[in-house]
Amino acid sequence: MHSVINPAIYYWGTPVVLITTENEDGTTNIAPMSSAWWLGDRCVLGLASQSHTPMNLLRTKQCVLNLPSDDMGAYVNAIAKTTGSPVLSPKKQTLGYELCRDKFGRAGLTPQPSDLVRPPRIAECPVQMEVELVLRTHIQDDLRLPGHSNRVNADLWRPMIMSFQHLYGLAPKTIDSKLASIDEEKYRTLTGAALAEAGPAELGLEMDQSGK
Q: Where are the alpha helices (DSSP H) in 98-202?
A: 103-107, 192-197
* Alpha-carbon span 191 to 87, nearest angstrom: 39
Percent of the chain with pLDDT over 70: 89
- Using alpha carbons, list the distances in angstroms from residue 187 to 71, 117, 180, 207: 30, 26, 12, 20
Q: Which residues pair with 112 in a beta bridge?
A: 121
Residue 60 region by backbone torsions, left for phi larger than 0, else alpha for psi between -120 and 50, else beta: alpha
The pLDDT tens digits of the residues spanning 8-67 come to 888 888 999 999 999 999 999 999 999 999 887 889 999 988 889 999 999 999 999 999
* Alpha-carbon span 11 to 13, nearest angstrom: 5
pTM, full prediction: 0.83
Mean pLDDT of 113-119: 97
Binned at pLDDT 50, 70 and 90, residue 134 comes out as confident
pLDDT of residue 199: 52
pLDDT of residue 202: 47
Report residue 96 CA to chain centroid gap.
25
The pLDDT tens digits of the residues spanning 61-90 come to 999 999 999 999 999 999 999 999 888 888
Domains of the chain with CATH codes: 14-178 (2.30.110.10)
